[in-house]
A and B are shown apart, each in its own frame.
Chain A
Amino acid sequence: MKFSRRQLAKRDARGSMLFLCIAVLGVMLIIVGVAFSFYLVFFSHQHLQSRSEDLAMECARQLNENDHGGKINNLIGHSRELVFTSRELYYRTGNEEFRGLQGLAAQVLEQSRSGALLVAEDRNRYVDFSMEKLRKIVKESESRNQGGLFLTSFSAYGGEVVDLRVGDMDQLVSNVEASSGVYNLHSYDCQQKYVMTGKQGDLFVSNVNLKLPNEDSDLVFQLASLPAPVKGNAAPMRLTRGKGFKHSLILRDAGQDKTGKCVVIPSAVQVTMTMKVKQNVVGEFDSKTKTVNTACANGAWIEP
């Protein structure tokens, strides 16, 4: 088949126009691709943020589930009071008048001291159990969310918990009310600044060893900083900005599980998560998005 010269010239011109059209289209596609990639990076960050918040709340719920922490705090407060009154009782039996009861008073004192040690031991066991549960929650969350996000040439995967810390929110008071019934103890506590006076009543300070005087100073009475109930309402658990968060134990650092012990029941948790973002719409692009979330456990309930 033969083409005229005119037809051949037309074909050449059309060919160049086609090339230019493809070039313009290509440029526009690249712009759309870049915009889409940016949007997906934002989207993946939001996705990670919401997952991280969920995990932080789930961990915070575990810290004071069914008010176990609040109850243990009250137990510590009561056992401290018991040791103090038992010691006073023992001192009183030192008189001629009550000397016959000294053996009984010594037994009561011994029992109250061993009771205080038992409470401390159980508190430590509860803290260890809670920490184990937190580790389990984190592992379950990671395995649940391994799938990631995949969209043609974009993928966001991982959702790894790189840091997990427990501690408290620099709150000064605990949920334990200082009883004014035992006058000597109350005045000693006020003198030692173990008590903070408020409109709703006096509350013991948290994260401080509330040492008893003299022979019982060897016992450790340390309360967790759980908010006390006000007007019958317990403080609900919540997300916080993390301002003032003080960690007492690192459960995971830079992706590595850590071992350690906590002296008091933690009342806040901080979760740091990262997610890998990869796209190849326009060249290869690898990035990491990171979120940090802090959540506070619910406050203590009213003591029955």
Chain B
Amino acid sequence: MRKTKNSGPTGRKLRSQAGSSQITEFGAAIFLLLSCIVIPLLDLSIVPVRLGLGKSIVSHRVHQLAQSECLSDAFKSLQESDFHTGLTRIGGFSAKSTQLSLVATSVKNPDQSMTVDRPGRLSTDWLPGGNKGPCLYRLDLTVDAEIEPLITAKVPGVQIPGLTRPIPFHLREESNWENMGCDPLSGEFFINK
């Protein structure tokens, strides 16, 4: 029945007069909704996605490195691998610096820990069977990165993270060191080799 009423010239006229004004108002509202809420949200919503992907890559990498034969192998693998390329492939993710370290934490006294950033630096006290032992050995990978939103508005002199410049993040992932054995020939612990 409605179709019959609106299909006439009077109905069409009425609809266009009243409806168009409503649509114009709604269009403005839609424009505001899109420009002020939806687009900025979409723009920023890529950041947690990129952060999640980056975190997952860092976590996977540190887990792999913790399974190395010895500590020097882990450091060498990190330097030689295309870890940075993998992070860059996410898009809008740039790793500024990467640091790998081994953290030994005393189980008896969890406040005490020793961090080394190169092989052969763990003192005898912190090695398995040492005075501080038993200890937990964790490989720690820290990445300082900048994540860009979908669109970055470059405004000279204005530095607003997430709007005019990428957002800086500090990613830190750790994994338990796996090879707790000793080299049968040299007698050195693989964790310190």
Contacts and interface: CB of A to CB of B under 8 A. Distances in A.
A198 B186 contact: yes
B14 interface: yes
A241 B67 contact: yes
Contact of A200 (B11, B68, B77, B184): B184
Contacts of A228: 184
Contacts of A13: 18-19, 22-23
B179 A199 contact: no
B182 interface: yes
Interface stretch (A1-9, A140-148, A212-220): A1-9
A196 B10 contact: no
Interface in B156-193: 178-187
Nearest to A244: B69
A106 interface: no
B123 interface: no
A244 to B, nearest CB: 8
Contact of A12 (B6, B30, B185): B6
Contact of A10 (B18, B49, B184): B18
B64 interface: yes
Q: Give the interface residue-count category, chain A.
A: 35 or more
A141 to B, nearest CB: 21
A241 B180 contact: no
Interface of A is mostly: mixed
Given A239-B67, A241-B68, A231 B129 contact: yes
A129 interface: no
A5 B14 contact: yes
Contacts, number: 104
Interface in A193-250: 196-200, 203, 227-228, 230-231, 233, 235-236, 238-241, 243-244
Interface string B7-25: 0001100110111001100
A173 interface: yes
A20 B28 CA distance: 13
A16 interface: yes
Contact of B185 (A17, A198, A244): A198
3 tightest A-B CB contacts, nearest first: A235-B181, A198-B185, A13-B22
B181 A236 contact: yes
B15 A200 contact: no
B74 to A, nearest CB: 9
B191 to A, nearest CB: 11
Interface of B: 2, 5-6, 10-11, 14-15, 17-19, 22-23, 26, 30, 33, 38, 42, 49, 52, 56, 64, 67-69, 77, 128-129, 178-187
A231 B187 contact: yes
A188 interface: no
Interface string A18-51: 0010001000000100010011001000000000
Given A24-B38, A39-B52, A169-B69, 17 more contacts: A9-B14, A9-B17, A9-B19, A10-B22, A16-B19, A198-B185, A198-B186, A199-B186, A200-B185, A230-B187, A231-B129, A233-B129, A236-B180, A238-B179, A240-B67, A241-B64, A241-B77
Q: Which of A17, A175, A196 has the most CB of B within 10 A?
A: A17
A77 interface: no
Contacts of A236: 180-181
A299 interface: yes
Contact of A196 (B2, B181, B185): B185
B187 A199 contact: yes
Given A200-B184, A231-B182, A8 B11 contact: yes
